[in-house]
Amino acid sequence: MTTVSHRSTPKTRRQGFARLLHAEWTKFRTVRGWVIGMASAALVTVLLGVFSASGSQSSCGAPGEACPAVPVGPGGEAVDDKFYFVHRSLEGNGAITVRVTSMTGQIRKPDATSGVRNVVPGLEPWAKAGVIIKAGTRLGSTYAALMVTGRHGVRMQHDFTHDTAGRPGGVSRTSPRWLRLIRSGDTLTGYESADGGQWAKVGTAHLAGLPATVQVGLFAASPGDLTVQQADLGGSIAAIRFAQATAVFDRVSLQGKAAGGAWSRDDMGATREPDGEIHHPGGVVQSGGTFTVTGVGDIAPRAEGQTIEKTLSGVVAGLLVVIVVAVVFITAEYRRGLMRTTLLAGPRRGRTLTAKAIVIAAVTFIAGLAATGVMVPLGTHILRSNGNYILPVSSLTELRVAAGMAALFAVFAVFAFALGAVFRRSAAAITVALVVIILPRIIATTSVLPTGASQWLLRLTPAAGFAIQQSIPAYPQVLGDHTPQAGYYPLAPWAGLAVSCGYAALALGLAVFLLRRRDA
Amino acid sequence: MKRELHAEWTKLRTVTSTAWLLAAGVALTVAVSAAAAATVSCPSAGCTYDVPKVGLIGVQAGQAIVAILAVLTVTGEYATGMIRTTLAALPRRPAVLAAKATILAGLTLAAGTVAVLGSLLVARLILPGNGFTPAHGQPPLSLADGPTLRAAAGSVLYLALIALLGLGVATIVRDSATAIGVVFGLLYILGILPFMISDPDWQRFLWQISPTNAGLAIQATTHLSGYPLSPWAGLGVLAGWSAAALLTGGLLFRLRDA
């Protein structure tokens, strides 16, 4: 008599799993409602996206008038490069040293009486003035700057997105601040001092491709004043009003082969009125060795414009359908008693459930990718042809947004599927999935809920994963309306996706545990 | 009709999920309202919050549970085959549906009253701690205030109308998963459409036809002129949706085999 071994070899185990996958795929593909559901999830995402993009019109001044070109920084991002620049050319290595003795400004506040400009003295937190070395006067060209700011102390910034903090505190006649910026090849180093004797290093910047001859000088700029108001119908309205900064410099000295003669002056990036006048001009007053420089604008990454994820506004509707299909993919088995057959064919319950989860994840990923892969290019095309400016991002970011959202579809499908396996009833599973995935996102982005609460909703709930679609980061050195209502998520893209994945993994683990313990 | 009402009441009362769902609906409404009240602040005079609306924000979450209860009242019977027994015992189909609607609306009105009063009470207790004081021009929430009373009573009616909408949709599609998908689509997806578009005319139009945006106008007590619809007209839009869903459902219920 021979004994039969019931232990399977790794090979047969692999084949067994492939068979399970094949069986589950057959089930999915032969139920017409599920296939139609998945296709309509992709379709509704695209249709709503097209609808939303076609309804977003934008123009500068008269309808159809082209907007002025937006400068692009060395990193490829859209930037603001608007400041008053008092400069000379510098050949090769060298340095600039100045003393800042005062920094003041003006801010336009919301009109108290309508029609009367309400301008008050004051400094924006990120108003900035100091010394700068820039490749040239072309907008968006590479630079490094050492500056005093309105409320964030001394900073060294370069190439629009980089920011290093120095000593905190403002300047006054009694406590001036000395700034020194040294160029050596591609390396720029910033130092600060309270007395011009003891110097402390603030930071170093490496500017790739900095030409031999650069522009060196003084600058002043102030971003506009931001006010955010709750909109009556939910969401918020952000408004930016004029602000300017004025700084007084003395003891200006240049080392190296700097051009002699008078200083050049440029109102960099200034916008002009139709009559050719500069709108809110900056300026400089020179008396002896003292320079009083006034500037309007900012040298920073730009946040004004449409983002590529704006084209994906239909995903919420698509996800609703995906959740229903994913839940029914398992609850229908319980309702029809098919689950007993399924477990008879694949008695290792954990593996059988995993095979089902893999199939639903793969199907939703492909449906999601079809939708986002069409929508990102198509939507940006529609938005552009309606006169909207789209903030440029790298193709890697574009890929992350499109593929990441498709992955989020799959993660939410697995989560909903696992809930279906836990509850074994479609009503309960769909409700829980919708309440924890879609509801937080809707309440956080369109309701009258205050910003703090919205941000916590998008940190703690599975809806955190929507962060994967944010293409433009919220830079801390730019004061903006960085709220969920404005499209800024509280978590970094991959961190948000990880939160959603964690929830899906937990739910799937619970589903496997319960499936092993309970009778089917 | 009395027999139908009695039968529906017995069925709904003896299913455990009814009590659970109603309790969960009340708890969720009060909890979300409390969370919103705890996070708003009014550091100085002149803050622009519509305070009763903040205190009643939980209705936006609680309506989900109400909709589920409504859907299950119908689809539960189809899932188990109970519907055939029901119709054998009570063959007057319009009366059966009317009885279902009456019992469901009655239960929702009762639970909705508890949820709304609970939300307002919690908000009244929490808000003064966050600067909503008479010194900042924010008197405590009170039902003696006309607009607040209208917002509160209207929210209860709103929940009942949502239940009827869910009942109508469920009678049309007869499957719980699909019905819940459709109802949530109507409530939430249609609700955010106006925010996905920047054209102001489209925005107003979509806002006016969406059951949640228009219906929740009943909670507005300030900036009324900024809304595309007046509070009662808004609730009327939702009533229109509910009536259309119930009528279509009732017609199909008569025409189709169970």
Chain B contact for A331 (CB, 8 A cutoff): yes
Q: Give the tens place of pLDDT for each residue, A108-129.
A: 887 777 777 888 888 999 999 9
**Among A459, A443, A448, A447, residue whose Cα is nearest residue A492:** A459
B177, B193, B196: residue with CB nearest A430 = B177
Chain B contact for A36 (CB, 8 A cutoff): no
Distance from CA of A161 to the nearest CA of B (A): 29
Task: Kindly give the pairing relationship between strand A118-121 and strand A128-134.
Answer: unpaired
Angstrom distances, CA of residue B184 to CA of A185, A516, B14, B154, B192:
62, 32, 26, 21, 12
| Structure tokens given for A515 | 């499936």
**Per residue, what are the HEC states of A347-377?**
CCHHHHHHHHHHHHHHHHHHHHHHHHHHHHH
Query: Which is higher by pLDDT, B14 or A261?
Result: B14
Residue A6: pLDDT band (50, 70, 90) is low
State the DSSP code for B186: I
Architecture of domain A79-301: Sandwich (2.60)
Q: A477 near A300, Cβ under 8 Å?
A: yes
Q: A487 near A313, Cβ under 8 Å?
A: no
Amino acid making up residue B220: A
- Residue A21: CB atoms within 10 Å: 16
Q: Give the tens place of pLDDT for each residue, A286-340.
A: 888 899 999 999 999 998 888 999 899 889 999 999 999 999 999 988 888 888 8
C-alpha A481 chain-centroid distance: 12
Q: A263 near A219, Cβ under 8 Å?
A: no
Q: B221 near B147, Cβ under 8 Å?
A: yes
Q: Report the C-alpha dihedral over residues A12, A18, A21, A27, rounded to 10 degrees.
A: -90
Residues of B in contact with A311 (CB under 8 A): none
Q: Give the tens place of pLDDT for each residue, A153-195.
A: 999 999 999 999 999 988 888 889 999 999 999 999 999 999 8
> What is the pLDDT, as a whole number, of residue A439?
84
**A515 phi and psi angles, rounded to 5 deg:** -65, -35
Residues of A in contact with B75 (CB under 8 A): 427
Residues of B in contact with A232 (CB under 8 A): 50, 220, 223, 226-227
Residue ranges of alpha helices (H) inside chain B are: 2-14, 16-39, 51-55, 59-80, 82-89, 93-126, 146-173, 176-184, 190-192, 200-209, 211-215, 231-255
Query: Which is higher by pLDDT, A29 or A480?
Result: A29
Question: B177–A331: do the CB atoms touch at under 8 Å?
Answer: yes
Distance from CA of B196 to the nearest CA of A (A): 5
Low-confidence ranges of chain B (pLDDT < 70): 46
Choice among A3-7, A41-45, A54-58 with the minimum mean pLDDT:
A3-7
Name the residue ranges covered by the structural domains of chain B.
2-255
Name the residue with tokens 């507005």: B220
Query: In terms of CA atoms, which chain B residue is nearest residue A311?
Result: B196
Chain B contact for A67 (CB, 8 A cutoff): no
Name the residue ranges covered by the structural domains of chain A.
13-55+306-517, 79-301
Does residue A3 surpass a pLDDT of 90?
no
Does residue A7 surpass a pLDDT of 70?
no
CA-atom Rg of chain A in angstroms: 30
Distance CA A131, CA A202 (A): 13
> What is the pLDDT, as a whole number, of residue A156?
95
Amino acid making up residue A49: G
- Residue A419: CB atoms within 10 Å: 29
Question: B39–A324: do the CB atoms touch at under 8 Å?
Answer: no
- Residue A194: CB atoms within 10 Å: 14
Distance CA B129, CA B118 (A): 18
> What is the pLDDT, as a whole number, of residue A8?
57
Does residue A224 surpass a pLDDT of 50?
yes
> What is the pLDDT, as a whole number, of residue B215?
92
Residues of A in contact with B70 (CB under 8 A): none
Name the residue with tokens 């002699």: A260
Considering chain A, what is the average pLDDT of its residues? 89
Distance CA B59, CA B160 (A): 11
Overall average pLDDT of the A451-478 stretch: 91
**Among B180, B191, B185, B168, residue whose Cα is nearest residue B68:** B180
Chain A contact for B213 (CB, 8 A cutoff): yes
Question: B198–A57: do the CB atoms touch at under 8 Å?
Answer: yes
Residue A232: pLDDT band (50, 70, 90) is low
Q: A499 near A466, Cβ under 8 Å?
A: no
Q: Report the C-alpha dihedral over residues B62, B66, B68, B73, rounded to 10 degrees.
A: 170
B36, B64, B195: residue with CB nearest A431 = B64
Choice among A317-321, A423-427, A511-515 with the minimum mean pLDDT:
A423-427
Sign of CA dihedral A469, A473, A474, A478: negative
Distance CA B60, CA A300 (A): 39
Residues of B in contact with A324 (CB under 8 A): 177-178, 180-181
Please spell the DSSP secondary structure of A428-489, one letter per residue.
Answer: HHHHHHHHHHHHHHHHHHHSS--HHHHHHHHHHSGGGGGGGG--S---TTS----SGGGT--
Task: Kindly give the pairing relationship between strand A177-184 and strand A187-193.
Answer: antiparallel
- CB-based contacts of A120, cutoff 8 Å, min separation 6: A106, A107, A108, A109
Residue ranges of alpha helices (H) inside A284-394 are: 315-336, 338-345, 349-385
Residue A1: pLDDT band (50, 70, 90) is very low
pTM to 2 decimal places: 0.86
Overall average pLDDT of the A349-370 stretch: 95
| Structure tokens given for A394 | 């790298």
Please spell the DSSP secondary structure of B42-99, one letter per residue.
Answer: --STT----HHHHHTTTHHHHHHHHHHHHHHHHHHHHHHTHHHHHHHH---HHHHHHH
